[in-house]
Amino acid sequence: MEIPGAAARRFLWTSVAITGVLGVLSALAYLVLDRDTHGGLFDYFYVGTEMNLPTWWNVMLLAAIAVTATLAAAVFAAERLGWAAIAATACFLSLDEGSRLHENAGLAPAYLGLSVPTFAWVAVGAVVAPVGVLVLAFATRRLPRRTRRALAACVTVYIAAALGLEAVSGYVIEQGGWGTYLALTHIEEMLEMTACAFAVHAILARLLPLRVEAPGRGGPASRSAREVG
C-alpha cells in the first residue's frame, strides 16, 4: 500500500481547521457560558484550563510528531539520531501537556525562595528550553536542509508561544488585565497547536510517498524511490 504525498497536505489543513474550531469553541465558552453555573462545560472547552478537549488535541498532535519521527528514524538510517531526538522531545512535551508537569515544575522557584513577575514555571522553562534546543540542533544536523529549517521554524513558534506569550500573559494577569490575558491565552494555545501541526507536516513531507509492505516482504515500511536530499 502506498501512502501518497498529498496526505501530508490533507493532514495539515485538517489539523489547522480543527485547531481553529477549538479556538472558536473556547471563545464562545467564555462569552456565552456562566462559569458559576456551567463550570464543567466551560472548563471542558476553554483553552486556559487543563485536562480538557483542547489539551487532548494538543497531546494528540505532539504524539503524532513522536510517531511520525519514530517512523522516519526507522526509514532513514543516516538521520536516525535526529529523528530519535525529535520523537523523544515530542513524547516529553506530550507527557508534560497531558499531566500538568510544567505546573508542578513551577513550584521549584518558590522552594528556592525566588519570586518571578509571571507564572513561576516559565522561569524553569527558560532554563530547560535552551538546553533542549541545543540538543536538537546538534542531533538533527544530518536532516535535509529543507526539513531542518521547517522544523526549526515550528520549534521557534512553539517556544515563542509557550514561553514568550505565557510570560507576558502571566505578567498581565498579575496586573489585573483579564481581557488582555484572555486574548493572549487564546493566541498562545492556537500557535502551539498550529506549530505542532506544521511539524507533523514537515515530517510527513520527508516521508511521503511511503510504501507500507506486508510483514515478511521487505520490512514494515520502505521509502518510495523519490528520495529527498
Structure confidence at residue 149 (pLDDT) = 98
Asked, for residue 81, whether it belongs to a domain, the answer is yes
Asked, for residue 228, whether it belongs to a domain, the answer is no
Instruction: Answer yes or no: is pLDDT of 109 > 60.
Output: no
Asked, for residue 229, whether it belongs to a domain, the answer is no
Cell matching residue 88? 523523544
8 Å CB contact between 123 and 110:
no
Mean pLDDT score across all residues of the chain: 87
Residues 6+ apart with CB under 8 A from 15: 61, 193, 196, 197, 200
The 3-class secondary structure across 113-152, one letter per residue, is CCCCCCCHHHHHHHHHHHHHHHHHHHHCCCCCHHHHHHHH
Distance, in Å, from the CA atom of 203 to the CA atom of 140, rounded to the nearest integer, reads 12
Distance, in Å, from the CA atom of 73 to the CA atom of 68, rounded to the nearest integer, reads 9
- For residues 217-223, give the mean pLDDT: 55
pLDDT band at 226 (very low <50, low <70, confident <90, very high): very low
What is the distance, to the nearest Å, from the Cα of residue 148 to the centroid of all Cα atoms in its chain? 16
pTM: 0.88
Structure confidence at residue 67 (pLDDT) = 97
| Least reliable range by pLDDT among 129-138, 165-174, 184-193, 208-217 | 208-217
What is the distance, to the nearest Å, from the Cα of residue 149 to the centroid of all Cα atoms in its chain? 17
For residue range 28-77, list pLDDT tens digits in order. 999 999 888 888 999 999 998 888 999 999 999 999 999 999 999 999 99
Structure confidence at residue 105 (pLDDT) = 61
8 Å CB contact between 153 and 131:
no
- Structural domain count, the chain: 1
For residue range 70-96, list pLDDT tens digits in order. 999 999 999 999 999 999 999 999 998
Distance, in Å, from the CA atom of 229 to the CA atom of 213, rounded to the nearest integer, reads 23
| Structural domain containing residue 62 | 2-223
Helix, strand, coil proportions of the chain in percent (round to 5)? 75, 5, 25
